[in-house]
Every structure is written in C-alpha cells, then in structure tokens.
C-alpha cells in the first residue's frame, strides 16, 4: 500500500510539473505578453530611411541633421524597461531632431488621421506633427524592449491598457508637447463631429499634452474645424457637447478662437465665413476632400 | 680537424647571409616597383560632369527604408529581400558610364522586384503627375506605378554612377536631354513596361486636357505603356481627360489627340471609353479652388 501511495503521489507530482511546463510553453509561444502589436521588423532601416528622406528630399534645409545620431538617441530610450519609459527620456532625441514650424501652419487633430494626412499633403498645405521630422520617423510604427532582454520585442508591446509609461505613448506625449510649444500664429484644429465618444476627447493628446504647452505670446488664435462624415452622423458641432468644453477652456485661457462646421459651410446659410486668409483655408475645401475620400462613385 | 670545420661553417654562414640580403633587396625593389606601377595603372577616376541634378544624398538609406516600408506596411503580403534588391539596383549603374545604361543592366532588378497587381486597379497617367497621385492617395482603390514596389522605391529620386569608380556621382547626373540612356530614364521605361504588362481587366488613364497634346508618343504613356498592355488580359481602357479648374479646355475626349489614342487602342483589340472631368478626380482639384463654379456643391 505504501508503495502504491508513493507511486500515486509521484504520478500526481509528475502530472503537475508536466502541466506547469506546458503552461509555461504556452505563455511563451502562444499567448502574447502585451496587448499591442510588436516592434516593426527592420525598424532601424525604416527609421533611417524616413529620417534621411525627410532631410534630403522633403525639407533639404535640414540636411545638416545627423540621422545616425538621431537613431542612437531614439534607440537608447528603448533600453529601459518596457513599462518605465518616460516622455523626458526622449529629450535628447527631440533636441537632435527638432526644427522650426512655419507660422500659421500647425494642424492639431483628434480621431481623423486619414483626413488630416490627406489634407496636409506632406507639408504642402499644413504641417501636422507627423509631417515634422520627429513625428515622421515614429509615424504608424511600434517599438518596445523585451521584458527580460535587451533587444526589441517583436511579438507584442505594451499599450496604455498594460501600462502608462510605455515607449510609444511616451514618445507621442513628448513629440506632441514639443510640437505645441513650437507652434505660432493661427493654430488649426480638426475634430471629428461624427465620433461617438466626442469630437474633443477631454483626456486625449490634444487636451493633455498640446493645449497646456501653447505659448500665449506666440499664438494669435485658434481655428477649430468640426468635420463630419459625409451623410452623417452629425453628433456634435460647434458650441455643442465636448466642442463646447474645448471652447470654454480656450476662453478661460484667454485664447481667441473661431469654430466652423463643415455642414454649415456647405449649406452656406447661417455660418459666417471668417476670411482670415482670403478664404484659402476655408473648410469647405475639407468638405470636398471628405467627399473624395468617402466617394463610392462607380467608375 | 676543428680548424677545418670552422672556416666551412663561416663560409656557409656568409653565403646564407649574402643570399638573404640579395633576396631582401630584390623584395624591396619589387614592392617599390609594384607601388609605383600600381599608382600609374589606376589614376584617380575622373568625375564626369553633367547638366542634371546629382544623385540624391543618402540614397541607400532612403531606398532601403522605402523597400522595408513597402513590403511590411504598404503591401505586407509581398515577401522581398530588400538588401538584395538594393545591391542589384546599385549594380545596374555603378562603375558604368551613365549615358550607356542598357535594359539588360536593370533586368535582374526587374525580376527581383516585380510583383503582380490586382485586376481593374491600374491607373496610368500622363502629364497629370500631381493630380493622379493626390487622387490615389485619397481613393485607395487605384494603383499607379508609384504605388508598386519599383515605383515606390525610386519616386522623386536621382541616381547615377561614374566609370571606374564604385561611388555614385553626387555632383551631377545626365539630364534626359543630354542622353536618353541615362540610369533614371531607362529605369522608368522598364518599370513602366512591366507595370503595363502586369495590368489586367479595366485600365484607367488620367490625361491632361489643358495642354495642347494630352496624348503623344513622346511620353512614357504613349511610347511604352500603351504598347505593352496585353489585349488577352486587358479588355477595356477608360480615359479621364482632366482640365484645370476654371481654365480654358485645350483638348477633350472629342479632340484629335484622344481620337488617335482611340484608334491605337482599338487596333490592339482593347475597348475604349473616354470621360471629360471625371467627378471624383475633380473633387480633388476643388480642394484648391472651392469658389469656382465647377466646385459648387449644389450644381444645377
């Protein structure tokens, strides 16, 4: 009987160890550690390509910038623990890649990346943060260090759901702050009035990292465009809901602002058209762009 | 006996020493001569001078970055070896006279980097560079050559080499007016041909109705692409003749230039249709001209 007990215990122990081993295998190979996409393969080549293209082709005035040094500064941040990366860790990277923004050319936005990118037209019309050197190199890519290693983690990376101080979010916080700080003249803001969670996210990048960094003595006024999907829904417009919160906040900070809806611009009934720049930046332009973007016309 | 061996040894030593010295002297002379002659045989390569812009700075980094971006983000189903593509591209023109580039030079690259295209998505263009690309960027359903790997990598860049040098010429490169067989022109000609050959289904073309000849055989479209569409794969060509907003139309679907194109295409057994100022494209033009009558939203 004793031997059979022993045998049984032995078997159970073996089974337990075996199951633990299996579980270990599964967490390593099958399940992902974090909830976000992993580091892009060939990140360094993509980064250097974008940097070199920006300083050689897009904005040759920046030809003296050193892309290798900029990459080194960026990469050194990723040596830190994937959940301990702070915006200030990117200070050297920003120092090396920072450049001036032409007056009246800044474009801030929430929830309408595609429209913003199409409208900005690679710095030809306006210059959103992703058309600045420091924004261009990080646009649409992902990166983080392995949890227990020094190299990049290509399987998954932490998002805000996993931890706040992750490499990518801290990057954009730092870049956005700098971008707002260096902006001057008229500040354009494009919001999405068809977004169910609100056109102006009260706790978004614009609210938390851009508005607090505008320089009062350099900014002349804000021009807010509330865009809607063609055909609706028209959930929020100027003076409504979260847009009203934004307007009130700007007023409290003693900034001048104008707000324009696409819908009213198209109807051309009630809305005033402040022709600040001879109508050049009239948001009915954006309406056409939206039409084209959403165009389902059979060809 | 002891006395007899020592003079032998010292003589042997002396012979050895003498031999070694002679060898050393010869060696030194040989090395010296080699250095002199080597210098004489390979003078520093003379950098040829041309009238066009020089090679783009950091060309390798830019093209590699674009290749990786294209194969990982723009078209992730494509599996390509970007480093190999770069080397093959470079070998096509490095160390060669940039006025003597041949199609064979680029053939290995074409084979490496070519990839199939979905049917009905091809958009050819002539003299409408800016508008065509603004349109495809916004309306993702069409692909121009510059939306394929070969076009994406090289768009807007310049490159050329120099005879007897492994370096690119960053000072100047031949302008197409100086010689037709320069590295860029041959590249685009071959890439355009491959792009036309890969087209299937319906092919769209954006032409410029505000110039005197929207269609001509001096353009790549007229001289290369039209003639390399495969009638077994392409059954219809749809032309959009776009005019400058608010400008005077110079030519249109009913003009002689388009009629000439029509006869060529129909002669190749491909059906043909033409539309003036296709609305979806015109909307892109309207972004810059919202006050023009053609751009009013409620047109009566």
Residue range B167-212, pLDDT digits in tens: 999 999 999 889 999 999 999 999 999 999 999 999 999 999 999 8
SS3 B198: helix
pLDDT at A266: 29
Inspect the interface and report whether the beta carbons of B58 and A56 lie closer than 8 Å: yes
* B74 contacts chain A (CB < 8 A): no
What is the pLDDT tens value at each position of chain B, 300 positions in all?
444 445 556 777 788 888 888 888 887 777 776 666 655 555 567 889 999 999 999 999 999 999 999 999 999 999 999 999 999 999 999 999 999 999 999 999 999 999 999 999 999 999 999 999 999 988 889 999 999 999 999 999 999 999 989 999 999 999 988 999 999 999 999 999 999 999 999 999 999 999 988 999 889 999 999 999 999 999 999 999 999 988 777 889 999 999 999 999 999 999 999 999 999 999 888 887 788 888 877 644
Query: Angle CA(B172)–CA(B175)–CA(B178) in degrees, nearest 5?
Result: 115
What is the model's pLDDT at position B184? 96
Which chain A residues contact residue B284 at CB under 8 A? 288-289, 292
Cα distance between residue A133 and residue A175, in whole Å: 10
How many angstroms away from the CA of B60 is the closest CA of chain A? 8
State pTM to two decimals: 0.79
Inside any domain, residue A189: yes
User: How does DSSP assign A39-90, residue by residue?
Assistant: PPTTHHHHHHHHHHHIIIII-GGGTT--HHHHHHHHHHHTTS-TT---GGGG
| Domain contains A43 | yes
Residue A210 DSSP class: I
Report how many helices (DSSP H) and strands (DSSP E) chain B contains, helices first.
11, 6
Residue of A nearest to B136 (CA): A293
The pLDDT of residue A189 is 94
**CA gyration radius, chain A:** 25
Contact B297 A121 (CB under 8 A): no
Considering only CB atoms, B280 lies closest to which of A63, A282, A292, namely A292
Find which of A39, A49, A142 to mutate to test the B interface (most B CBs within 10 Å of its CB): A49
Name the CATH superfamily, with its identifier, for domain B48-295: ADP Ribosyl Cyclase; Chain A, domain 1 (1.20.82.10)
Does B73 contact A282 at a Cβ distance shorter than 8 Å? no
Residue A15 belongs to a domain: no
* A115 in any annotated domain: yes
Q: Judge whether A91 lies within some domain.
A: yes
Contact B290 A284 (CB under 8 A): yes
Q: What is the pLDDT, as a whole number, of residue B32? A: 73
Q: Could you report the per-residue pLDDT of B124-153, keeping only the tens digit for each? A: 999 999 999 999 988 889 999 999 999 999
Q: Distance from B38 to chain A by nearest Cα, in Å?
A: 36
Domain count of chain A? 1
What residues of A are in the B interface, CB distance below 8 Å? 40-42, 45-53, 55-57, 63, 67, 118-119, 121, 140, 266, 279, 282, 284-289, 291-293, 295, 297, 299
Asked if A288 lies within 8 A of B238 by C-beta distance, the reply is: no
The whole-angstrom separation of Cα B237 and Cα B270 is 7
CATH number at residue A276: 3.40.50.720
What's the average pLDDT block by block, 10 residues per block, for chain A (299 residues)?
Answer: 70 65 51 92 97 96 97 96 97 98 94 81 86 96 94 95 95 96 96 92 93 96 90 88 96 95 41 28 63 52
> With an 8 Å Cβ cutoff, is B93 touching chain A?
no
- Expressed as residue numbers, the domain containing A71 is 33-280
DSSP state of B225: I
pLDDT computed for residue A117 by the predictor:
80
Tell whether A217 is covered by a domain. yes
Q: Which residues pair with B130 in a beta bridge?
A: none
DSSP A159-204: -TTT-SS-HHHHHHHHHHHHHHHH--EEEEEEEETT-TT-SS-TTS
CA dihedral A188, A192, A197, A202 (to 10 degrees): 0
CA A158 to chain centre: 15
């Amino acid at each position: 009987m004793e031997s059979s007990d022993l045998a049984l215990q032995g078997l159970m122990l073996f089974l337990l160890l075996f199951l633990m081993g299996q579980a270990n295998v599964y967490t390593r190979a099958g399940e992902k550690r974090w909830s976000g996409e992993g580091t892009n393969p060939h990140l360094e080549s993509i980064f250097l390509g974008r940097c070199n293209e920006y300083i050689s082709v897009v904005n040759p005035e920046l030809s003296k910038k050193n892309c290798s040094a900029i990459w080194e500064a960026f990469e050194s941040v990723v040596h830190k623990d994937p959940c301990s990366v702070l915006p200030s860790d990117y200070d050297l990277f920003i120092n090396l890649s920072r450049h001036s923004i032409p007056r009246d050319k800044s474009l801030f936005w929430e929830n309408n990346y595609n429209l913003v990118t199409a409208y900005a037209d690679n710095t030809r019309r306006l210059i959103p943060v992703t058309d600045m050197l420091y924004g261009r190199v990080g646009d649409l890519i992902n990166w983080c260090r392995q949890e227990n290693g020094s190299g990049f983690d290509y399987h998954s990376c932490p998002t805000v759901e996993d931890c706040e101080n992750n490499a990518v979010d801290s990057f954009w916080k730092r870049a956005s702050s700098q971008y707002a700080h260096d902006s001057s003249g008229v500040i354009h803001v494009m919001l999405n009035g068809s977004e169910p969670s609100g056109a102006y996210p009260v706790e978004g990048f614009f609210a938390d990292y851009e508005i607090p960094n505008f320089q009062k003595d350099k900014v002349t006024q804000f021009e807010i465009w509330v865009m809607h999907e063609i055909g609706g829904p028209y959930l929020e417009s100027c003076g409504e809901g979260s847009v009203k919160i934004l307007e009130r906040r700007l007023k409290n900070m003693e900034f001048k602002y104008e707000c324009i809806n696409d819908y009213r611009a198209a109807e051309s009934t009630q809305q005033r058209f402040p022709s600040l720049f001879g109508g050049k930046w009239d948001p009915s332009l954006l309406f056409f762009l939206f039409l084209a973007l959403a165009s389902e016309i059979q060809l | 006996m002891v006395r007899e061996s020592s003079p032998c040894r010292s003589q042997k030593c002396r012979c050895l020493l003498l031999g070694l010295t002679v060898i050393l002297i010869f060696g030194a002379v040989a090395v010296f001569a080699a250095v002199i002659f080597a210098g004489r045989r390979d003078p520093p390569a003379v950098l040829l001078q041309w009238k066009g812009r020089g090679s783009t700075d950091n060309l390798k980094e830019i093209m590699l970055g674009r290749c990786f971006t294209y194969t990982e983000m723009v078209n992730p189903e494509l599996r390509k070896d970007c480093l190999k593509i770069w080397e093959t591209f470079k070998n096509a023109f490095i160390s060669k006279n940039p006025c003597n580039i041949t199609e064979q030079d680029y053939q290995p690259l074409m084979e490496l980097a070519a990839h199939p295209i979905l049917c009905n998505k091809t958009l050819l263009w002539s003299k409408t560079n800016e508008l065509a690309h603004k349109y495809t960027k916004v309306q993702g359903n069409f692909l121009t050559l510059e939306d394929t790997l070969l076009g994406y990598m090289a768009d807007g860049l310049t490159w050329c080499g120099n005879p007897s040098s492994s370096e690119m010429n960053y000072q100047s490169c031949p302008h197409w007016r100086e010689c037709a067989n320069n590295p860029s022109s041959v590249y685009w000609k071959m890439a355009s041909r491959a792009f036309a050959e890969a087209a299937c289904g319906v092919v769209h073309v954006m032409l410029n109705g505000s110039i005197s000849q929207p269609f001509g055989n001096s353009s790549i479209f007229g001289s290369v692409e039209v003639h390399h569409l495969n009638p077994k794969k392409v059954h219809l060509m749809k032309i959009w003749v776009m005019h400058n907003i608010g400008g005077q139309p110079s030519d249109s679907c009913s003009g002689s230039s388009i009629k000439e194109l029509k006869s060529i295409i129909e002669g190749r057994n491909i059906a043909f249709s033409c539309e003036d100022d296709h609305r979806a494209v015109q909307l892109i033009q309207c972004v810059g001209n919202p006050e023009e009558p053609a751009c009013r939203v409620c047109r009566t």
